[in-house]
């Protein structure tokens, strides 16, 4: 047996490797390579080209990792990424321009501006459910802001991870943009290094670990986490449209495995049966009578997650509440769209983010009660309301705290590049998309220009009562007061 | 005793949560009433504040007004006139494809805020962040520094008389109280202080996924280009002296830490500085006027050790005398101390000014870049291209040209650090923002439901979505009208 003589396939990425990676990137950044507009544009264009040239490969990788339906892969990952890239390319020049700001009489004469500058070297840790989009969309922001980037794709979506490593290696400036594949050991090695910014998409438990590691180096962090995104459904709505939008926002999003997918529904006792019927009808239209065989539904990503989701149904008190679906195919990691009605409040399914194709419906007497229910839990990444009642909409917007709110639809708000996308509380820190991506990877440097003239001696010792009077007037910006003080009144 | 303290703290926090949940802090009337109350407090108790700062730091009333009271009043007045505007939702642009729809960003309070106050500006750095938190609609705990005990008591005794004590609390104490506070769950922590403690605060906050703002410090350099006009050199000297020894005797996060100057200009500048020092502070080191003292014995000893290090002592060219009884140190200038000594590797936070000479002032950029990013960089120069170079090639919280410290009172500029000098920012609207969550809100209507959004998928829907993502409305219309367009999609993927 010659196994002892065999060299390891690839050197494992350890602390030493991480240190030299960071050193190399710092060298690139310090040399100023990533700061020019031209460099940023060329890299963004390369990202766009990579996406266009390899659309089929990306779709194949997503099918391999998640059995993602082709159109879903296109719509929710490829098209979103291209759109984000194009939007950034169009706006970048404007974003890079320093912002002139007003100055007051207190600092007269002076001029001031805010200059955006890159943070330096950035670490992007991506998730497995939209492995293409959630890897490259933050990278777009990092590059647009002029940083050097390391991307750590999720190992739970291995086909996409290696495709990204291969394609970015081919298309991007590898002295400044790198992909490091791997799992916990590699991520830990990376987290020990000093980064100028860390952008993490994933769950709260790991988010906490990332934040703690960043604290050692005082590194600012963005955390895009999740939560139990509730959907409140009123009775005075267009039922069919509502049902379709809920389905699109639950099972149409990676079969419920999305941070902003509808986690559960809250509706009135009276309306629940009607809603369930409408959902059933539309579900059959969308996925046929045998949803486990439908090509238009993603599978569960891994056997670990399959076990996690099925465990939520383990409880008799829960499984007894299934009103639709419940079928499973373990060998193909498929679970059919499943609806449950009035599961016990303390059950696991009502206390953990489901991240799967189970949709519990909770009933209340009054819809307004739902606001308190939502606010008593952890703040979710998104909250949804279906209603035509203007007062209810206003109360919802005013009282429900979440990363973002969407009325009369599900998930769509993330496609709008003019709205910040991010969480609050347990659903995350920071936001991105559009200009917010640029900002999240930028330091906005304050700059004040003064001249040698206009020196108020009141600032300096020896301190006197007269100076005190003048300072009071100067700081209050009160011109009359300043004149009086100057005249000694 | 500790358990009792912990319980009391837990109860205070629970009360604040209850207050926040009740919605009392959300309305603009409440916020304005609290801001007005702070303004009144500062007006009513100006003398008490002067007295407290004199006790804690030996600050002269003019210094107190310039750096603390005036700043707070200015900030309060500004917040009062702007808070309603800041609270208003910002309408968002929407691409046509979203029609009919309405998008906006609505700021909302984060909830429960914890503010850690440092000892060097113990009134301003308590009240200014407090006003930010209040204007954003939060409930707040203010934890003053125990190293400025007179100010800490002043805040603890006076704030409850003016503010809504069910929504704003002052909790005094030392490290143990801070640690207990950090065990609670906050919606935001605002910390001003040292990098060492900043790390601890952030690590604790990580457990609850609490966002933090860290206002730290660093070695703020001043780049002094060679000036020829004596009146300008005089102004520069005043501003440099004012920016070094003026704010709390150099114990300030944005105080000048060290000075970089060309060898040929150094001696001229030093002469002007010496004259300015004696004019500002008097000739007699035993009776220095208008100068704060060092905050306590511990800091005094730290600075004394620096000065008594032989390699550093050898570089003293002005000052250097210490008054242990009064905890004052004479404004001290050093010329080219060793670069690896503490004085050049740690933040000085005291009245010692090292001057480092260079052959060419352009070298200052590399000098600064080889050190951690500071909170502020000051540059005295009339050379426009040098200014541009400094801006483009260095990184710091802020850059101020031809003056020192004054960026602090410019409300339209964000105040905060980068890298080791911290992250997050405040002042003016940035204070409101730092204590707010910007909630994205999108309103859609039932009207115009697009079929192609939904499965079962087919070629038509694929085409539609492709055009939709390009916002190619013309093609969408043509597609809908039934025109057969060139198939872009390769067969085999859709059955």
* Domain containing residue B136: CATH number: 3.40.605.10
Given this structure, which CATH class describes domain A230-422? alpha beta
Q: Which residues contact B49 (CB under 8 A, 6 or more apart)?
A: B42, B64, B68, B69, B123, B151, B154
Distance CA A84, CA A91 (A): 11
Contact A104 B411 (CB under 8 A): yes
* CA atoms lying within 13 Å on the CB side of residue A68: 33
The question of whether A259 is a catalytic residue gets the answer: yes
Percentages (nearest 5) of helix, strand, coil residues in chain A: 50, 15, 35
- Neighboring chain A residues of B393 at a CB cutoff of 8 Å: 32
Which residues make Cβ contacts (< 8 Å) with residue A94, sequence separation at least 6?
Answer: none
B325 and B257, same structural domain?
yes
A463 contacts B442? CB cut-off 8 A: no
Catalytic residue annotation of B: 215, 253
CA distance B449 to B440: 22
Q: What radius of gyration, in Å, describes the C-alpha atoms of chain B?
A: 28
Contact (CB<8Å) B419/A461:
no
Closest-approach residue (CA) in chain B for A402:
B439
pLDDT at B494: 38
Task: Tell me the pLDDT of chain A (489 aa) as tens digits.
Answer: 444 444 444 568 999 999 999 999 999 999 999 999 999 999 999 999 999 999 999 999 999 999 999 989 998 899 999 999 999 999 999 999 999 999 887 788 889 999 999 999 999 999 999 999 999 999 999 999 999 999 999 999 999 999 999 999 999 999 999 999 999 999 999 999 999 999 999 999 999 999 999 999 999 999 999 999 999 999 999 999 999 999 999 999 999 999 999 999 999 999 999 999 999 999 999 999 999 999 999 999 999 999 999 999 988 899 999 999 999 999 999 999 999 999 999 999 999 999 999 999 999 999 989 999 999 999 999 999 999 999 999 999 999 999 999 999 998 888 889 999 999 999 999 999 999 999 999 999 999 999 888 777 777 888 888 888 888 887 777 777 777 777 765
Same domain membership, residue B195 and residue B327: no
Residue B286 belongs to domain with CATH number: 3.40.309.10
Please tell me if residue A203 touches chain B, with a CB cutoff of 8 Å: no
Q: Which of B110, B238, B449 shows the shortest C-beta gap to A455?
A: B238
Question: Which runs of consecutive H residues, i.e. helices, occur in B25-69?
Answer: 28-44, 46-57, 61-64
Evaluate whether residue B101 is within a structural domain.
yes
pLDDT attached to residue B488? 43
Residues B304 and B387 in one domain: yes
Q: Do B206 and B231 fall into the same domain?
A: no
In terms of domains, do B61 and B100 share one? Answer: yes
Closest C-alpha among B147, B167, B156 to residue B35: B167
Is residue A224 among the annotated active site residues? yes
CA dihedral A74, A77, A80, A85 (to 10 degrees): -110
Task: Report the residue of chain A nearest B377, measured CA to CA.
Answer: A447
Would residue B269 count as lying in a domain?
yes
Return the bridge partners of B116, or none: B143, B191
Residue B123 phi, psi (nearest 5): -95, -55
Contact assignment for A461 to B291 by CB distance below 8 Å: yes
ipTM field: 0.92
Q: Is residue B61 situated within a structural domain?
A: yes
In the predicted model, is pLDDT for residue B223 greater than 90? yes
Residues of B in contact with A60 (CB under 8 A): none
State the span(s) of chain A assigned CATH 3.40.605.10.
15-225+433-444
Chain B CB contacts of A286 under 8 Å are 454-456
Within this chain, do residues B379 and B468 fall inside the same structural domain, yes or no?
no
| Residue B445 within any structural domain of the chain | no
pLDDT at position A469 is: 84
pLDDT, tens digit (0-9, with 9 covering 90-100), for B154-200: 999 999 999 999 999 999 999 999 999 999 999 999 999 999 999 99
| A residues 375-404 closer than 8 Å to B (CB) | 375, 388, 393, 397, 401-404
Q: Quick one: closest CA in B to A115, which residue?
A: B391
* A108 reaches B (C-beta below 8 A): no
Strand, helix or coil at A422?
Answer: strand
Q: Which of A199, A240, A265, A243 is nearest to A436 (CA)?
A: A199
The C-alpha angle B459, B465, B468, rounded to 5 degrees, equals: 145
Whether the bond into A462 is cis, omega within 30 of 0: yes
* CA–CA gap between residue A326 and residue A283 (Å, rounded): 13
Angle between helical axes of A133-144 and A37-53 (0-180°, round to 10): 160
Q: Are residues B341 and B465 in the same domain?
A: no
User: Are B154 and B247 part of one and the same domain?
Assistant: no
List where CATH 3.40.309.10 sits in chain A: 230-422
Q: With contacts defined as CB-CB under 8 Å, which chain B residues touch A296? A: 455-457
From the CA of A468, how many Å to the nearest CA of chain B?
A: 5
Beta-strand ranges (E) seen in A413-452 are 421-422, 428-429, 431-432, 442-450
pTM of the model: 0.93
- Report the CATH architecture of A15-225+433-444: 3-Layer(aba) Sandwich (3.40)
Same domain? B176 vs B117: yes
Choose from A419, A454, A469 for mutation: most chain B CBs within 10 A.
Answer: A419
pLDDT 10s digits, B67-108: 999 999 999 999 999 999 999 999 977 776 666 678 899 999
Residues B339 and B239 in one domain: yes
Residue with tokens 């791997």: A182
CA-based nearest distance B1→chain A, Å: 30
Count how many pairs of residues, chain A against chain B, have C-beta atoms within 8 Å.
292
Same domain, residue pair B10 and B158? yes
Residues B196 and B313 in one domain: no
Interface test with B, best of A288, A443, A449, A485 (most B CBs within 10 A): A443
Q: What is the C-alpha to C-alpha distance for residues A339 and A318, in angstroms, rounded to an integer? A: 11
Q: What is the mean predicted confidence (pLDDT) over B470-485?
A: 66
Tell me, yes or no, whether B371 lies in a domain.
yes
Q: Domain of B178?
A: 2-216+428-439
B444 assigned to some structural domain? no
Interchain pair A450, B406: CB under 8 A: yes
| Closest Cα in chain B, distance from residue A96 (Å) | 12
Which residues 170-189 on chain A approach chain B with CB closer than 8 angstroms?
Answer: none
Q: Which of B17, B436, B433, B1 is nearest to B185 (CA)?
A: B17
User: What's the rounded Cα separation, in Å, for the pair B142 and B191?
Assistant: 10
Taking an 8 Å cut-off on Cβ atoms, the answer to whether B425 and A426 are in contact is: no
Residue B421 in any domain: the answer is no
Q: What is the pLDDT of residues B21-33, one digit of tens each?
A: 999 999 999 999 9
Task: Give mean pLDDT, residues B452-481.
Answer: 73
The angle formed by the CA atoms of residues A276, A280 and A283, to the nearest 5 degrees, is 135
How do residues B386-419 score in pLDDT, each as one tens digit?
999 999 999 999 999 999 998 998 989 999 999 9
Shortest Cα distance, chain B CAs vs residue A235, angstroms? 14
Is some CB atom of chain B closer than 8 A to the CB atom of A247? yes
| Domains held by chain B: number | 3
Coil, strand or helix: which one is B270? helix
């Amino acid at each position: 047996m010659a196994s002892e003589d065999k060299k390891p396939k690839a050197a494992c990425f350890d602390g030493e490797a991480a240190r030299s990676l960071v050193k190399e990137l710092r060298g690139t950044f310090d040399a100023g390579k990533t700061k020019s507009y031209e460099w940023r544009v060329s890299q963004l264009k390369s990202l766009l080209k990579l996406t266009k040239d390899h659309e089929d490969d990306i779709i194949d990788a997503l099918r391999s990792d998640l059995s993602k339906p082709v159109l879903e892969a296109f719509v929710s990952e490829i098209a979103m990424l291209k759109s984000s890239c194009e939007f950034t390319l169009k706006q970048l020049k404007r974003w890079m321009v320093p912002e002139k700001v007003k100055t007051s009489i207190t600092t007269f004469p002076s001029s001031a501006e805010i200059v955006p500058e890159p943070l330096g070297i950035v670490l992007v840790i991506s998730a497995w459910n939209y492995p293409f989009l959630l890897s490259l969309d933050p990278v777009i922001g990092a590059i647009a802001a002029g940083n050097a980037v390391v991307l750590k794709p999720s190992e739970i979506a291995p086909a996409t991870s290696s495709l990204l490593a291969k394609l970015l290696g081919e298309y991007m400036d590898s002295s400044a943009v790198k992909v490091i594949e791997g799992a916990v050991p590699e991520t830990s090695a990376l987290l020990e290094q000093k980064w100028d910014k860390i952008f993490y998409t994933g769950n709260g438990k790991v988010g906490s670990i990332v934040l703690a590691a960043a604290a050692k180096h005082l590194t600012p962090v963005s955390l895009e986490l999740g939560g139990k995104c509730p959907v409140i459904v009123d009775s005075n709505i267009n039922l069919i449209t509502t049902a379709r939008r809920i389905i699109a926002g639950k099972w149409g999003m990676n079969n419920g495995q999305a941070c902003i997918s509808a986690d559960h529904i809250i509706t009135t006792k009276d309306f629940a049966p009607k809603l369930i019927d409408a959902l059933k009808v539309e579900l059959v239209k969308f996925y046929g009578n045998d949803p486990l065989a439908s090509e238009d539904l993603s599978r569960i990503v891994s056997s670990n997650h399959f076990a996690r989701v099925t465990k939520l149904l383990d409880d008799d008190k829960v499984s007894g509440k299934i009103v639709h679906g419940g079928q499973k195919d373990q060998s193909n990691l498929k679970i059919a769209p499943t609806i449950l009605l009035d599961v016990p409040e303390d059950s696991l399914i009502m206390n953990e983010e489901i991240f799967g194709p189970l949709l519990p419906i909770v009933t209340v007497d009054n819809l307004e009660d739902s606001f308190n229910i939502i606010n008593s839990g952890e703040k979710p990444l998104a909250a949804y309301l279906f209603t035509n009642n203007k007062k209810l909409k206003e109360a919802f917007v005013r009282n429900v705290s979440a990363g973002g709110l969407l009325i009369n639809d599900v998930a769509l708000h993330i496609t709008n590049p003019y709205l910040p996308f991010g969480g609050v509380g347990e659903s995350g820190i920071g936001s991105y998309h559009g200009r917010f991506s640029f900002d999240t990877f930028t330091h906005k440097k304050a700059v004040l220009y003064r001249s040698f003239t206009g020196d108020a001696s009141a600032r300096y010792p020896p301190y006197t009562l007269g100076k005190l009077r003048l300072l009071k007037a100067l700081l209050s910006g009160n011109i009359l007061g300043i004149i009086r003080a100057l005249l000694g009144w | 005793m500790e358990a009792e303290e912990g319980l009391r703290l837990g109860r205070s926090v629970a009360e604040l949560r209850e207050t926040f949940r009740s919605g009392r802090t959300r309305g603009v009337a409440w916020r304005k009433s609290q801001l007005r109350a702070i303004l009144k407090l500062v007006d009513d108790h100006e003398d008490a504040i002067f007295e407290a700062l004199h006790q804690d730091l030996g600050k002269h009333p003019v210094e107190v007004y310039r750096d603390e009271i005036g700043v707070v009043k200015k900030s309060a007045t500004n917040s009062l006139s702007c808070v309603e505007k800041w609270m208003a939702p910002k309408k968002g642009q929407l691409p046509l494809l979203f029609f009919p729809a309405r998008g906006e960003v609505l700021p909302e309070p984060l909830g429960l805020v914890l503010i850690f106050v440092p000892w060097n500006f113990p009134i301003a750095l308590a009240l200014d962040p407090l006003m930010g938190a209040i204007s954003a609609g939060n409930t707040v705990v203010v934890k003053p520094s125990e190293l400025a005990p007179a100010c800490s008591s002043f805040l603890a005794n006076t704030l409850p008389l003016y503010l809504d004590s069910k929504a704003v609390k002052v909790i005094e104490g030392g490290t143990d109280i801070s640690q207990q506070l950090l065990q609670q769950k906050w919606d935001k922590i605002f910390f001003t202080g040292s990098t060492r403690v900043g790390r601890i605060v952030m690590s604790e906050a990580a457990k609850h996924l609490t966002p933090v703002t860290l206002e730290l410090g660093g070695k703020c350099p001043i780049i002094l280009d060679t000036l020829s006009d004596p009146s300008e050199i005089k102004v520069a000297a005043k501003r440099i002296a004012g920016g070094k020894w003026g704010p709390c005797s150099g114990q300030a996060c944005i105080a000048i830490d060290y000075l970089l100057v060309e060898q040929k200009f150094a001696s001229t500048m030093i002469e002007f500085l010496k004259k300015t020092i004696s004019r500002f502070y008097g000739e007699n080191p035993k009776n220095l006027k208008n100068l704060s003292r060092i905050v306590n014995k511990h800091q005094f000893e730290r600075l004394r050790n620096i000065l008594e290090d032989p390699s550093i002592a050898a570089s003293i060219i002005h000052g250097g005398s210490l008054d242990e009884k009064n905890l004052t140190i004479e404004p001290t200038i050093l010329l080219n101390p060793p670069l690896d000594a503490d004085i050049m590797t740690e933040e000085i936070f005291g009245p010692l000014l090292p001057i480092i000479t260079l052959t060419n002032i352009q070298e200052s950029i590399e000098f600064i870049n080889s050190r951690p990013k500071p909170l502020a960089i000051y540059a005295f120069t009339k050379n426009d291209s040098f200014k541009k170079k400094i801006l483009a090639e260095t990184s710091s919280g802020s850059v101020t040209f031809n003056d020192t410290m004054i960026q602090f009172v410019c409300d339209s500029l964000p105040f905060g650090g980068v890298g080791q000098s911290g992250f997050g920012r405040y002042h003016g609207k940035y204070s409101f923002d730092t204590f707010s969550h910007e909630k994205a809100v999108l309103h859609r209507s039932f009207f115009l439901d697009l079929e192609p959004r939904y499965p079962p998928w087919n070629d038509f829907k694929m085409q539609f979505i492709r055009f939709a993502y390009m916002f190619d409305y013309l093609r969408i219309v043509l597609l809908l009208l039934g025109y057969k367009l060139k198939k872009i999609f390769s067969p085999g993927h859709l059955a």
